[in-house]
Structure 1
């Protein structure tokens, strides 16, 4: 190890409203000492996800992040030393490293990854983002050729991949994103058939024009008012894959939307299913094989937004929640 200082970002206070820089503090923490069954890791890239904000509210599919603790987050790391035969120095792993330079993590909680260039692809297309898009769309959404697929947060890490997979499956794809530039980018660069700018305010009307034959599959990353605008436009036997609810994560949750859900689900015979990508890890190899094939053949473009410096991690997450990023946002430690 060339640098033995462990820079750490602490969540010093749980935000009552919107997340701000004042809720974090950068410190020089102690070097972790791995116990039996643990590995000492040098973190290379930290994944930034809307879920980071949800963890501050309370327990989800993982325990809540408590005040005055290292901010939780997934990362790609290199093994420095290992107290387990399962890993050796130099191995590349994915795990819940937290926002810090070094971490000691139980080996059973780490996933060994292939060493590839760029390593960033292990967090984007071949990481949680790509796998979430793949399983959420194909296993939950079950799109068929010729159907209309709508995805919200379409310029983000998951949404941008969902739309591209739906296109290569022969669907008409409509993305919902914030701002004219993002919408133009979705159609001109990623091949979406149409894009709706939610910042214009008239989402229902714009969606009606973009999807005149109704919506068969909706991949929902945001919940709230956008979901409310989509529901009445779903076709009979439509499927909704519930991936996230970013509209509810930061600040005061929306008091409106979606209204009328039970009636619409019954009348239209809709399937509305939440999912967690971890449930699909036994099928991971097939997914990675497909994703690698699509990337190598140019059918999927990989979009990454890499920010340098662990000290910039808080602002990078705040920006992600505000919709600054295109593609997968991460921090190079």
Structure 2
């Protein structure tokens, strides 16, 4: 049994561009387990863009939030024996002690703090880290967002921002499978090329170097039916006027503003594109659909086995690299040899 654990905390208030200087590694002694508790060792730690939003509202000294695939190494709970693999919300920590019966409120729903790995992994040639990727929040959000919220239909046109990202690359593949015309925007020309050639998007653009209006005039001459937005800011404001009548905007993130929380670029609610075209703009919290997760995972695994969707992951060895990997993710950086593995990033704990 280890006698201490390491974990990352926020070193200083961060409301502008994030750098590794804002993170600090701490170490503390581990206490003996109480009845009902378990000790977990992180195997994979998910590096997620939403962490940037948590950091913006966190005080110095607060632990960095995040999800893990972890193994039970000590247990005083018969339902969670030593060796059991779990998905736990224990943040950037190499070891954690937790009462696995605890729950947390997410999207108005009480969900377990610890969950067993999705049973679908037993019969699929997917890595255990897929519990935080294809079968985790990114995949579930992509599938349920398209089917339950956007009500996507064959022949419609969808625009995806952060289209080569952790969630975006799954949204695009699912949309293509459903018969939609898929237009992807990224902030990197190599990533745009990747989603066009590897994922077979109909159109792909680098919004930092290409004229977004001109791109939409070419790629969506009849308008955009579904706008899957993870970026927000000026890019979203540019795309909105190109929406079709009764178009649906699904907001899953706001990357453009996470590093500018004091002066965020907002969408005007009196914009003509919104009220004249009767657009629906909806934020999406996948936990609201927690009761549908099992069916969604079944559908995703089926599509994977039929080779209709392919998840991509990039695993980095080393707990000490968490801040660096996260900052690189926020800055859209990548290693050329891993361009095909950029979307979902995990660090081995």
Separation in 2, partners of 1:284, 1:85: 26
Residue in structure 1 matched with residue 141 of structure 2 by the alignment: 132
Q: CA deviation at 1:33?
A: 4.0
Separation in 2, partners of 1:128, 1:214: 29
Residue in structure 2 matched with residue 76 of structure 1 by the alignment: 69
Separation in 1, partners of 2:313, 2:25: 25
**Out of 263, 281, 296, which is 2:305 matched to?**
296
- Preserved contact between residue 56 and residue 261 of structure 2 (Cα < 8 Å): no
Q: CA deviation at 1:130?
A: 0.7
Q: CA deviation at 1:145?
A: 0.3
Q: CA deviation at 1:32?
A: 4.8
Residue in structure 1 matched with residue 337 of structure 2 by the alignment: none
| 5+ residue gaps, structure 2 | 102-112, 335-341
Q: 1:282-322 deviations in whole A, cap 9, x for unaligned?
A: 10111000110111111111111111111100011111111
Alignment pair present for 1:44 and 2:53: no
Alignment pair present for 1:169 and 2:178: yes
TM-score, length of structure 1 as denominator length: 0.92
Residue in structure 2 matched with residue 88 of structure 1 by the alignment: 81
Residue in structure 2 matched with residue 61 of structure 1 by the alignment: none
Change (3 A) 1:52 1:32: farther
Residue in structure 2 matched with residue 247 of structure 1 by the alignment: 256
- Preserved contact between residue 9 and residue 100 of structure 1 (Cα < 8 Å): yes
- Preserved contact between residue 33 and residue 104 of structure 1 (Cα < 8 Å): no
Task: Classify the secondary structure of the residue corresponding to 1:107.
Answer: coil
Task: Classify the secondary structure of the residue corresponding to 2:329.
Answer: helix
Residue in structure 2 matched with residue 271 of structure 1 by the alignment: 280
CA RMSD of aligned residues (A): 1.9
Task: Classify the secondary structure of the residue corresponding to 2:208.
Answer: helix
Q: CA deviation at 1:82?
A: 3.1
Residue in structure 1 matched with residue 212 of structure 2 by the alignment: 203
Residue in structure 2 matched with residue 106 of structure 1 by the alignment: 99
Task: Classify the secondary structure of the residue corresponding to 1:144.
Answer: coil
Alignment of 1:207-222 (within 5 A): 207-222=216-231
Separation in 2, partners of 1:253, 1:189: 38
Q: Which 4+ stretches in 1 moved above 6 angstroms?
A: none
Q: CA deviation at 1:330?
A: 1.4
Q: 1:15-36 deviations in whole A, cap 9, x for unaligned?
A: 1321111111123322254444
Alignment pair present for 1:191 and 2:191: no
TM-score, length of structure 2 as denominator length: 0.88
Q: 1:248-307 deviations in whole A, cap 9, x for unaligned?
A: 112456654534654322211111111111111110111000110111111111111111
Q: 1:218-258 deviations in whole A, cap 9, x for unaligned?
A: 11101111111111011011111110101111245665453
Q: CA deviation at 1:11?
A: 1.4
- Preserved contact between residue 3 and residue 29 of structure 2 (Cα < 8 Å): no
* Total equivalences in the alignment: 326
- Preserved contact between residue 247 and residue 254 of structure 1 (Cα < 8 Å): no
Separation in 2, partners of 1:149, 1:43: 37
